[in-house]
A and B are shown apart, each in its own frame.
Chain A
Amino acid sequence: MQRIGVFVCHCGTNIAGTVDVKAVAAALKNEPGVVFSTDYQYMCSQAGQDMIKEAIAEHHLGGIVICSCSPRMHEATFRKTAAAAGLNPYMVEIANIREQCSWVHKDMAVGTEKAIILGKAAVAKVNLNTPLTPGQSPVTKRALVIGGGIAGIQTALDIAEAGFPVDIVETKPTIGGKMAQLDKTFPTLDCAACILTPKMVDAGQHENIRIFSYSEVTAVKGFVGNFDVTIKRKARYVKEDVCTGCGLCTEKCPQKKVPNEFNLGMDNRRAIYIPFAQAVPKVATIDPDYCMMLKSGKCGVCSKVCTAGAIDYKAKDEYIEEKYGAIVVATGFNPISMEKFDEYAYSQSKDVITSLEFERLTNAAGPTQGKLLRPSDGEHPHTIVFVQCVGSRCEACSEKGKEYCSKICCMYTAKHAMLTRDKYPDTDVYVFYIDVRTPGKNFDEFYRRAVEEYGVHYIKGMVGKVSPEGKKLHVQASDLLAGKQLHIDADLVVLAAAIEPDRSARPLATMLTASMDTNDFFTEAHPKLRPVESPTAGVFLSGACQGPKDIPETVSQAGAAAAKVIGLLCKDHLTGNPCVAHADEMMCNGCSTCERVCPYGAITYVEKEFRMPDRTTKLRRVASVNEAVCQGCGACTVACMSGAMDLRGFMNRQIQAEVDAICK
C-alpha cells in the first residue's frame, strides 16, 4: 500500500463553483492508503506546487492524486512537481473533476458525488502504480534517404546543409527521378532540367552526401536513432570511381536495340548506357539483359574503347551495411498501366500516348529532339485530344483504376495544351475534363490562360472510345454542356494516366513497419499535424510516396521532412515513453499473437532458457518488447491469450481497480 496524498484544486470557482472541494478532500481522506488530503485555490500555481512538494517531503508520500483539470492540461506540470520533490513522476494520477465534472454538471450535490468517485478511482489506480523510468537510446547521426527524385534530393541537401551526413539510395543508375523526364514545369513554365540539374550536381558534390545509385534497400533492422540497413549495390559492370562518363562506350556498343526507359521506350539506347546527359553520377551502366558479353561472352567492345579501364564484366552485386538514425522515404510515383483502359486504344495505336510520353515528345532531349511528332509516322499532329482522369477517381472497388484524384493532371494537361498551341498554332487542342481542379498559387490563372489566350478547347465530358481508323484516331466523346455526342478525328490522343506509388514502396513499408493506406501510399502520423512523419518513429515521408503531389508541394514536404530529421539527429539521446508493453516471460506461451497485432513491429520472439521446478532448464520461446519502438497502444495486451502482456502505466490491475472504484 502506498502512502498517498490527495490534492483537490478549486480552480478558482471553475471547480469549486459546482463541486464541494472540501467535501471531496474529506471523503478521499478515508480511502485506503490516503495519509494526507487537502484542497487549494490553484494547485497549478507556484504556491500550489510548493504545497505539493512540501507535503511529499513531510508525509513521505509514495503517490499523489491531483483532483483538478484534465490531465491533457497539467499532467506534465504535476509530474515535474513530483520529480522535483524526489517522487517518481509516474506516481502521479489526475482525477479530471473540471472538464469531465464541474463544467458539465450543474448541481453541487451531483458534482460533488461524482468528483469523489473520480477521486476514488484515481486513488485506487495510484495504489497500484509503480515507478517508471523512460529508457534512453543513443542516436546515430546519419540519415538515409530512399529515392533520389526531387523529393529525396531536396531532403538530402537540407539535412546535409545542417551538417549531418546523408546517404541517398536510388534504384536507377542516376538520381533525378520523374522530374528529370519533364520538359517544362507549371505554372511558370521554367524548364525542369534547368532547375533540377543544379540540385543534382549539388547533391553529387556535397561533402555530406553519398549517392548509392543503382542500389536498393534490402533489409532494415533496429528502431528510431538506431537503424541497421542493408543496401544492395547492383552490379553495374562499370567501376564507378574509374569511369569518367565520357560516353564513348555508349556510342560504340553494337547492341543498339534496347528500349530506352528514360524515353519510355519511344526510342532505343545501347546495352551500355548513361540515362541522360546530366546524369549524377555520370557513370555508364551495362544492362545485363542485353549485353552480349555478359550473355554469351562474345563482344567486349566497351572494354576495348574505354581508355580509363572502367569496364568490369566480372562485377557482382555487393551488399553494404550501414547505421542510420533516421530514414526518409522518397520513393515517388509512376503512372498506372493503361492496359485496363483499352477503350482508349493505348495498346492498339502508337498515337495514343500517356502524358509522361507526351512530356518526352516535347523535350529537347527526347526521342524527337523536342519536335511534336506522331510516334506512328513522324508527322505533325494537327488535332490533339487530351483525356483527363484516366484511372483516377474510379469507384472504390474498381478493378481498373484508383479512387483518388491524382492531383497533378489538370495542371500538366493545361501546360501541355498551352505549349502545343504556343509552338504549333495550327493545331487544334481539345481537353476533355470532368472537373478542372486548380487549387494552387497561380494555378487557376494558368488554366484560364490556356483557354482565353491560347484557345485550347476545354470540353466538359469524358471520352468514351478511341477507334484507330486509318491514320486517324476516331474519338467519341460527350459534350455535356452542349448535350451532344462528339465525334472528333484526332491525330494524337494523350491520356492523363492516374499516378500510383512506386512498386518498391510496399516491400519497403514492410521492412520499415511503416503503415500504408489501401492505395499503397505511406500513411502520415497525423494527417494535419504530423504530415511528414510516418507513425513509425524515425521514419519520415517526402514527396509523392505519401500522396499525389506536384513539384512545389514535394519540395516543401521534402524540406519539412529534413527539418524533422535534423531535429532528431541533433539529439544525443532519445528519451522514450515508459508506458510501454511488457511481457511476463513466465506466463508467455510463445503464441506470436501479440507480434501479429503490433502495428510497430515492436514485439519479437526470443528463445530463452528457463529453470524449471525440477532444476532442469528448458528453452522457451517468449515475447520480447523493444521499448524504444513500442508506442504503448495496448493492442497486444488484449490480444494476449495467456495474460502475459501488460501495459505499464495502464496495467490490467490498474484499470480494473478504476472500474471497481467507479462501480462500488
Chain B
Amino acid sequence: MKVSYYPGCTLRNKAKDLDIWARRSAEALGVELCELEDWQCCGGVFVAAKDEIATKLSSVRALAQARDRGQPLVTVCSACHNVIKRTNQTMRTDADFAAKVHNYMAQDPNHIAPYTGETEVYHYLELLRDVVGFDRVREAVKRPLTGKKIAAYYGCLLLRPGKVMRMDDPENPRVMEDFIRALGAEPVIYPARNECCGGYVVLENAQSAEKRSRTVSASATGHGAEMIVTACPLCKYNLVKSGSELPVVYFTELLAEALGVKEESYAE
C-alpha cells in the first residue's frame, strides 16, 4: 500500500538514520512511503494559542497534499506527529480557525481546495499496529531480538494530549511494548516512560532538561532495561546528553535490524 510520508526537518539532518531505517523497513513490510513534495518544517512544537495561524500552515499544506493524493499521512518523528495531528484536530473542530487558515491559503500560488481535516494522520507506530498489524511484523522478522530487555520511551509528544492524539492510553500505553514484543525482545515497563525528557528547554535551561532525562534513564535502568528505544530525535539527544548509561536508539533502527534490512541501509 501507498501512504504519504512527512519526514520533517530533523530526519533530513541530524536524524537521517531514523528516516532511512523507516523507509527500508516499510519497504520490507510492503508499505510504500511516498514523500510529500516541497514539504516544510512543522515548526517543531504545536503552539496552542488560538490566534497562531501562520505557524500551522505548513502542517495544513502537508495534510491537504495527502488528502489530494487520497492517502493517509505518516510521520516518524514524534514532534512532527504531535504538531500535524493536533493541527488536523483543530482544523476539524475549530471552524473559526479553519476559516482563517483558508483565507491564508487562498493566497497560495498553488491554491488548493479548502482543507477541513479529512486526512488520517498515523504515526509510524500506529501504521505498524493498525494498518500493517504487529502479527505481520512478527512474521516478517528475520533476526528476532530475543532476550533483549528494551525500555520503550514515549516521552510526552506521542501521547499527549490524549484526547487529541488518540494514540494509546496516555498513562499506561502499550503500543511500543507490543512493537518490542513483535520484534522478539522483552519490553521493560517503567513509570517514567511517559514523562518529559526536557524537550526544547534544553536550550533555555540545560540543567532542567538534564534532570528530566536522568530521571527517565534512571527509571529505565532501575527496572532492568538494557536499552532505551525512542521515536523522537530530541528525546534521544537529551537522554544521551544527560549521560544515560543505556544506549538510546530509534525504534526504526531496531525494526530494521530485526527485519534484516539494517546493513542494506548502511550501504547507502
Contacts and interface: CB of A to CB of B under 8 A. Distances in A.
A343 B219 contact: no
A341 B172 CA distance: 9
Interface string A612-638: 000000000000000000000000000
B189 interface: yes
Interface string B195-237: 0000000000000000000000001001000000000000000
A474 B172 CA distance: 16
Interface string A457-491: 00000000111111000100000000000000000
A517 interface: no
A470 B191 CA distance: 11
A399 B162 CA distance: 11
Interface string B157-196: 0000001000001011000000000000000010110000
A396 to B, nearest CB: 14
B219 A348 contact: no
A343 B171 contact: yes
A15 interface: no
Contact of A345 (B163, B191, B219): B191
A399 B161 CA distance: 13
Contacts of B191: 345, 348, 465-469, 474
B171 A470 contact: no
Of B189, B191, B219, chain A has the most CB atoms within 10 Å of the CB of: B191
Contacts of B222: 469-470
Contacts of B219: 467, 469
A342 B159 CA distance: 13
Contacts of A205: none
Nearest to A399: B163
A30 interface: no
Contacts of A340: 169, 171
Of B169, B171, B222, chain A has the most CB atoms within 10 Å of the CB of: B171
Contacts of B163: 399
A343 B169 CA distance: 10
Nearest to B195: A465
Given A399-B163, A470-B222, A348 B172 contact: yes
A546 B171 CA distance: 32
Interface residues of A, number: 15
A342 B192 contact: no
A248 B85 CA distance: 61
Interface in A415-473: 465-470
* Range for the number of chain B residues in contact with chain A: under 10
A193 B163 CA distance: 44
B189 A348 contact: yes
Contacts of A342: 169, 171-172
A398 to B, nearest CB: 10
Nearest to B222: A469
A347 interface: yes
B192 A341 contact: no
Contacts of A343: 171
Contacts of B189: 348
B169 to A, nearest CB: 6
Nearest to B223: A469
Contacts of A341: 171
B161 to A, nearest CB: 11
B167 to A, nearest CB: 15
A224 B148 CA distance: 68
B238 to A, nearest CB: 19
A387 to B, nearest CB: 14
B172 A467 contact: no
Contacts of B171: 340-343
Contacts of A468: 191
A345 B193 CA distance: 13
A345 B191 CA distance: 8
Contacts of B192: 467
B237 to A, nearest CB: 24
A474 B171 CA distance: 15
A390 to B, nearest CB: 13
A470 B192 CA distance: 13
B196 to A, nearest CB: 12
Interface in A476-526: none
Interface string A2-33: 00000000000000000000000000000000
Interface in A168-211: none
A467 to B, nearest CB: 3
Contacts of A469: 191, 219, 222
A467 B195 CA distance: 11
A466 B163 CA distance: 21
Interface string B114-128: 000000000000000
B131 to A, nearest CB: 25
A451 to B, nearest CB: 31
Nearest to A397: B163
B193 to A, nearest CB: 10
Interface string A312-353: 000000000000000000000000000011110101100000
A345 B222 CA distance: 17
Contacts of A474: 191
A522 B171 CA distance: 33
Interface string A139-169: 0000000000000000000000000000000
A372 to B, nearest CB: 24
A9 B197 CA distance: 83
B265 to A, nearest CB: 36
B171 to A, nearest CB: 4
B211 to A, nearest CB: 13
Contacts of A467: 191-192, 219
Contacts of A399: 163
Nearest to A468: B191
B138 to A, nearest CB: 24
A397 to B, nearest CB: 10
A394 to B, nearest CB: 13
Nearest to B169: A342
Contacts of A465: 191
A479 B89 CA distance: 35
Contacts of B169: 340, 342
A209 B26 CA distance: 69
A347 B171 CA distance: 10
A164 B54 CA distance: 75
A343 B170 CA distance: 9
Nearest to A346: B172
A399 B170 CA distance: 13
Of B172, B189, B192, B219, chain A has the most CB atoms within 10 Å of the CB of: B172
Interface in B133-163: 163
Interface of A: 340-343, 345, 347-348, 399, 465-470, 474
Given A341-B171, A466-B191, A469-B219, 4 more contacts: A345-B191, A347-B172, A348-B189, A468-B191
7 contacts: A342-B172, A345-B191, A348-B172, A348-B189, A467-B191, A467-B219, A474-B191
Q: Which 4 A-B pairs have the closest CB atoms?
A: A467-B191, A342-B171, A342-B172, A343-B171
